[in-house]
Amino acid sequence: MTNKVSTQKESLTDVSDSATLKKIRQLRGLSRQDASKLLNCSISTIKRREHPKCHISQKEIDTFLNAYGVTRSDFVNLKLNQPVQIENLRPTRPFKIIEHNQLRRSYKKIITDEVSTLIHLRKRLGITKHEACKMCGFNRSAIGSIENGRITLNKKKIEHIVNSYGFKLSEYYSLLNSRIDRINTENICIRKIQMMSDQKLETLMHLMNGL
Query: Is the alpha carbon torsion for 161, 167, 170, 173 positive or negative?
Result: negative
The CATH number, out of the four listed (3.40.50.150, 3.30.450.20, 1.10.10.10, 1.10.260.40), of the domain defined by the range 113-209:
1.10.260.40
Q: Do domains 9-89 and 113-209 have the same CATH topology?
A: yes
Nearest to 115 by CA among 168, 183, 178: 183
Whether the Cβ atoms of residue 136 and residue 151 lie closer than 8 Å to each other: no
Q: 3-class SS at 149?
A: coil
Task: Kindly give the confidence (pLDDT) of every residue in the chain, 211 residues in length, as a single tens digit, with 9 standing for 90 and above.
Answer: 444 333 333 333 456 888 889 988 888 888 888 888 888 889 988 998 898 888 889 999 999 998 888 888 888 888 888 887 777 655 444 444 444 444 444 445 566 888 889 998 998 899 999 999 999 999 888 898 888 888 878 889 999 999 999 999 999 998 888 877 777 787 788 888 888 899 988 888 888 887 7
Alpha helix stretches (DSSP H) within 87-197: 101-107, 113-125, 129-136, 142-147, 155-164, 169-176, 182-194
Asked if residue 147 lies in contact with residue 118, where contact means CB atoms within 8 angstroms, the answer is yes
75's CB contacts (< 8 A; 6+ apart) are 20, 21, 24, 61, 65
Burial class (CB in 10 A: 0-12, 13-18, 19+), 28: buried
CB 120 within 8 A of CB 175: yes
For residues 22 and 54, what is the distance between their CA atoms, to the nearest angstrom? 12
What CATH fold (topology level) applies to the domain 9-89?
A: 434 Repressor (Amino-terminal Domain) (1.10.260)
Which of 56, 42, 71 has its CA nearest to residue 142?
71
User: For residues 149 and 112, is the Cβ–Cβ distance under 8 A?
Assistant: yes
The model carries a pTM of 0.43
Question: What is the residue extent of each domain of the chain?
Answer: 9-89, 113-209
